[in-house]
Chain A
Amino acid sequence: MLTYHLQVYWWFIISLLGAILVFLLFVQGGQSMLLSSRTAMQRTLMVNSLGRKWELSFTTLVVFGGAFFASFPLFYSTSFGGAYWLWMLILFSFTFQAVSYEFRARKGNIYGTRLFDTLLFINGCVGCVLLGVAVGMFFFGGEFSVVRGNILDASSPVISRWASTHGFEAICNWRNLLLGFTVLFLARTQAALFFMNNIADDPFLYRRNRRTLFINGSVFVVLFLIFLAVLLTATGYTTVVSSTGAVTFVPEKYKFAMNYIEMWWCLAALVVGVVAVLYGFLRSVFAAHWTKGIWFSGAGTILVVLSLFWVAGYNDTPYLVSLTDLGSSLTIVNSSSTRYTLEVMSWVSVLVPFVAAYIAYVWYKLGAKPLTPREMESTDHKY
């Protein structure tokens, strides 16, 4: 197998992890709704429904980072070390999540339940928006430069250098923020669908979730359409390798639209994904009682996000364009690990279907029956 094939394969794995992560952000979306719950039992049901899934979304984020480190270390080095505050804020918000479920309702919790619910709310909002901002840089670039020779500069031996704003400039970029808020409203839409599927015997909560779904889903559709319009009309870059091996990045109008046209499977994934999300959303809103929307919307989300990652990294597209030094832009070729490491990692990735299978099995075993108020009253372990 050629090194390039391995790089393509690993960008696919990264895309898949990213897509699954965005789907699992329904946990964050649900957290962003906690403070508006009407009764204590409603909040208990919502927290416990999400609480059996939070470890999975958290772990997917960690594995997403680890896989990026192993397969594209120059991205890990450049983005994490450069957009310092963006990633630190994301990390802070996820540490909030890690403890809040376990601590919130425990006796002896010296800070009270309300504080941990607020931390979950912060993680729900900030986590979604900032992860969207981080992914937005795949389309709209970042302010950095990479000079490998700096490693020998004793006074400043850093190869990747970012603008002095260290990620705040990315947060303030309206196009990144647009994607961030799109992700937030997608997560809230998915959360409402998840609650409708996972919580039973509470008609009031079901109706409320359907109303929430309608509002958040509508906002999401509008934001997504604007984002798609911005993306498809944006000027991107194409990597050009000369006969001498010199690499340049050439601006190209409607680059991402052209990528969708030139890679038909991306377009197919986008279209099928959008249809699936809309089907899950609309049928859940308008059917009298239909709870399967999360599966259609979830599968659709995965397809759409996959297609977005693919147009960001495939077809000779630099997936992290440098806005300050175009030559420093990162592609799946110039930022990857070596062929040997990618091969080793590829052997390990053979186990991914096995991992997915046991996760699905456990999810099925524990989630076969929805949560009910009666179960919450009788269980000896709840959040």
Chain B
Amino acid sequence: MEDLSSLIDWSRAQFAMTAIYHWLFVPLTLGLAVIVGVMETIYYRTRSQRWLAITKFWMTLFGINFAMGVATGIILEFEFGTNWSNYSWFVGDIFGAPLAIEGILAFFLESTFVVVMFFGWRKVSPGFHLASTWITGFGATLSAAWILIANAWMQNPTGVAFDPAQMRNVMTDFWAVVLNPVAIHKFIHAVANGWVLGAVFVMSVSCWMLMKKRDREFSVRSFKVATWVGSIGILVTMWSGDGSAVDVAKYQPMKLAAMEGIYDGQNRQGFTVIGLLDPEVKPCCTGNSDVDPFIFRIEVPAVLSYLCSRDINAFVPGINDLLSGHRADNNGTEYRVPSVADRIVSGKVAHDALRDFDRAQAVGDTEGMTTASQVINARYNDFGYGYLSSPCEAVPPVALTFYSFHIMIIFGGYLLLFFVMAWLMLYWRPRLLDVKWLQIAGIATVLVAWICSEAGWVTAEVGRQPWLIEGVLPCQAAISYVSSGSVALTFTLFALFFTLLLAAEVSIMVNVIRRKGATSDYARLSDK
């Protein structure tokens, strides 16, 4: 394979591009499902034709978006096989199970009941229809749960052991995989983020309707439901985000260091609110160290130490500490975290032991197999490092991780203020709903929510590089045996196709929203 690095880059790019597109649509589906469910529940309880009209309007937008989520989702599942075939074998025993369970438990639920949502109004009872709407939302959420369990396992592999005889990892504890703390926080964080995005989308469209002086009651009712859902969503997102950060500090310290742009760690580590990284500063593995990595920075002292360890005096390691090794404390017991260079050496010893095991197995040398197996087990935590040729390869792209993380944090803070403002507009000064600049801000906020959501994914996925499975398998050892030209071509085709489809979706959604017929009958409908 002459073009290994090019193939890795194209494979990464293709997966990243598909995931970014997929993540444009999935959170909106998760959020709109809940909002539509709430609206239909109000209709079911009141039998108000106006609430029925509101429900159907947002359900139409839900349907248009749902289709795009489905189209991009199928590609992601199969790309594990097409572009990461080594990965599919190396950990398929563990990773395949959540995907299959997702299909059996969640996809069928969604695909069956979404049909009732759209075509069942006159064919099933109102109660059955309402149940179908909620079940569709539940199915989408359940789907998110299983895929996030799979993703979290890659960030913190648990419930697994390496079997040298098969040269692959095998599952030893299903519940350890499912109840992985990273999975729990990730699931709550991602789903709540979906609620926020769905809510902001509804509020944004409602603001546009208010600005255009379309039916006011329709808009205010929609705005109100979305404010409730979104407010719960933003609070849960922040709470679970804190939990996720603690997980990152514990299981992926290099990612945390990149997220905060920390090269040299310290006790009472401050949290960077906003900063500008000096692009000239590189990790110590390049011979460049002891330089301030920031051109400009606003920092809150000791907060990062507290957020990571609930102790303002705790030491937070930086990139250089992790590369060179450092002292750490585990409940009062001091120990030394080995350097990346040491782990590379240890990983290569594990690789040699695996070769020895293979040779011993071929000739039936049981003793040789046992000896090699002991070496592999003792050093398996460093197995993935054996693929690295230099410590620098263990450092993720710092600038991209840092900026995406801070965009997420800053935009997330803005969204909190946005919901506070929405409450004030609804329950304290309703006339603020008619202030034009607030309406424009409301419309624009949907872009903030989308960027915030995508930035969160970029942080999570770029920050874990070079690992596909943390510490066990870097991307370069997970690829398929295809030419980089083939992957470049499919990347281009997918990018083109998804972009064309995105344009179609936006155009159709805008048309549905702008069409006067959507709400013109609303005023004539009975509210009883």
Which A residues are closer than 8 A to B by beta carbons? Answer: 52, 55-56, 58-59, 61-63, 65-67, 69-71, 73-74, 76-82, 84-85, 87-88, 91-92, 94-95, 98-99, 101-103, 106-111, 148-149, 151-152, 154-162, 164, 166, 337-338, 340-341, 344-345, 348-349, 351-352, 355, 358-359, 362, 365-366, 368-369, 379-381
Question: Is B417 engaged at the interface, CB distance under 8 Å to the other chain?
Answer: no
Which B residues are closer than 8 A to A by beta carbons? Answer: 1, 4, 56, 60, 63-64, 66-68, 70-75, 77-78, 80-86, 88-90, 92-97, 99-105, 107-116, 118-124, 128, 163, 166-168, 170-172, 174, 351, 354-355, 358, 387, 389, 476-477, 479-483, 486, 490, 493, 497, 500-501, 503-505, 507-512, 515
Closest CB of chain B to A227's CB: distance in Å? Answer: 26
Closest CB of chain A to B11's CB: distance in Å? Answer: 10
- Contact between B67 and A98, CB atoms less than 8 A apart: yes
Residue of B nearest to A154 (CB): B387
Q: Which residues of A contact B108 (CB under 8 A)?
A: 56, 59, 63, 355, 359
- For the complex, give the distance between the alpha carbons of A292 and B171 in Å: 47
6 CB-based A-B contacts, threshold 8 Å: A59-B108, A62-B103, A81-B482, A338-B93, A345-B101, A365-B123
- Contact between B97 and A84, CB atoms less than 8 A apart: no
Residue of A nearest to B355 (CB): A152
- Contact between A66 and B115, CB atoms less than 8 A apart: no
Q: Which residues of A contact B121 (CB under 8 A)?
A: 380-381
Closest CB of chain B to A71's CB: distance in Å? Answer: 7
- For the complex, give the distance between the alpha carbons of A359 and B132 in Å: 12
Residue of B nearest to A358 (CB): B112
- Contact between A158 and B480, CB atoms less than 8 A apart: yes
Given A92-B497, A106-B508, A359-B108, the answer on whether A77 and B88 have CB atoms closer than 8 Å is: yes
- Contact between A160 and B89, CB atoms less than 8 A apart: yes
Q: Given A84-B482, A159-B86, 13 other A-B contacts at CB below 8 A?
A: A62-B73, A62-B74, A65-B77, A66-B99, A69-B95, A69-B99, A70-B92, A80-B80, A84-B480, A148-B167, A337-B93, A362-B115, A380-B121
Q: Which residues of A contact B120 (CB under 8 A)?
A: 365-366
- Contact between B78 and A108, CB atoms less than 8 A apart: no
Between A and B, how many residue pairs show CB distances below 8 Å?
281
- Contact between A380 and B56, CB atoms less than 8 A apart: yes
- Contact between A95 and B75, CB atoms less than 8 A apart: yes
Enumerate the 7 nearest inter-chain pairs by beta-carbon distance, A residue then B residue, closest first: A81-B85, A73-B92, A108-B511, A80-B81, A70-B96, A63-B103, A81-B480
- For the complex, give the distance between the alpha carbons of A102 and B508 in Å: 10
Residue of B nearest to A56 (CB): B111
Q: Which residues of B contact A69 (CB under 8 A)?
A: 80-81, 88, 92, 95-96, 99-100
Given A56-B111, A63-B104, A341-B171, the answer on whether A366 and B68 have CB atoms closer than 8 Å is: no
- For the complex, give the distance between the alpha carbons of A338 and B168 in Å: 11
Q: Which residues of A contact B77 (CB under 8 A)?
A: 62, 65-66
Residue of A nearest to B107 (CB): A59
- For the complex, give the distance between the alpha carbons of A369 and B123 in Å: 9
- Contact between B174 and A344, CB atoms less than 8 A apart: yes
- Contact between B116 and A362, CB atoms less than 8 A apart: yes
- Contact between A102 and B99, CB atoms less than 8 A apart: no
Closest CB of chain A to B469's CB: distance in Å? Answer: 13
User: Contacting A348 at CB < 8 Å: which of B71, B86, B101, B115?
Assistant: B101
- Contact between B507 and A110, CB atoms less than 8 A apart: yes
- For the complex, give the distance between the alpha carbons of A366 and B510 in Å: 30
- For the complex, give the distance between the alpha carbons of A110 and B509 in Å: 12
- For the complex, give the distance between the alpha carbons of A65 and B112 in Å: 19
Q: Which residues of A contact B71 (CB under 8 A)?
A: 95, 98-99
Given A157-B387, A157-B477, A338-B170, the answer on whether A66 and B88 have CB atoms closer than 8 Å is: no
- For the complex, give the distance between the alpha carbons of A157 and B1 in Å: 9
User: Contacting A106 at CB < 8 Å: which of B64, B66, B96?
Assistant: B64
Q: Which residues of A contact B101 (CB under 8 A)?
A: 70, 345, 348
Q: Which residues of B contact A63 (CB under 8 A)?
A: 100, 103-104, 107-108
Q: Which residues of B contact A98 (CB under 8 A)?
A: 67-68, 70-71, 74
Q: Which residues of B contact A107 (CB under 8 A)?
A: 508, 511-512, 515
- Contact between A55 and B115, CB atoms less than 8 A apart: yes
- Contact between B504 and A110, CB atoms less than 8 A apart: yes
- For the complex, give the distance between the alpha carbons of A111 and B95 in Å: 39
Most buried by A among B1, B85, B93, B500: B85
Residue of A nearest to B111 (CB): A55
Closest CB of chain A to B321's CB: distance in Å? Answer: 28
Residue of A nearest to B84 (CB): A81
Q: Which residues of A contact B128 (CB under 8 A)?
A: 365
Q: Which residues of B contact A341 (CB under 8 A)?
A: 93-94, 96-97, 170-171
- Contact between A66 and B171, CB atoms less than 8 A apart: no
Closest CB of chain B to A352's CB: distance in Å? Answer: 7
- Contact between A159 and B115, CB atoms less than 8 A apart: no
Q: Which residues of B contact A359 (CB under 8 A)?
A: 108, 112
Most buried by A among B104, B480, B510: B104
Given A76-B92, A148-B166, A166-B486, the answer on whether A82 and B113 have CB atoms closer than 8 Å is: no
- Contact between B70 and A58, CB atoms less than 8 A apart: yes
Q: Which residues of B contact A152 (CB under 8 A)?
A: 351, 354-355
Q: Which residues of A contact B93 (CB under 8 A)?
A: 73, 337-338, 341
- For the complex, give the distance between the alpha carbons of A62 and B387 in Å: 33
- For the complex, give the distance between the alpha carbons of A159 and B94 in Å: 18
- Contact between B504 and A109, CB atoms less than 8 A apart: yes
- Contact between A56 and B171, CB atoms less than 8 A apart: no
- For the complex, give the distance between the alpha carbons of A48 and B498 in Å: 24
User: Contacting B171 at CB < 8 Å: which of A344, A358, A379, A380?
Assistant: A344
- For the complex, give the distance between the alpha carbons of A345 and B67 in Å: 29
- Contact between B112 and A87, CB atoms less than 8 A apart: no
Q: Which residues of B contact A164 (CB under 8 A)?
A: 483
- Contact between B510 and A108, CB atoms less than 8 A apart: yes
Q: Which residues of A contact B102 (CB under 8 A)?
A: 66
Given A99-B71, A159-B89, the answer on whether A345 and B505 have CB atoms closer than 8 Å is: no
Q: Which residues of A contact B503 (CB under 8 A)?
A: 110
Q: Which residues of A contact B64 (CB under 8 A)?
A: 102-103, 106
- Contact between B508 and A108, CB atoms less than 8 A apart: yes
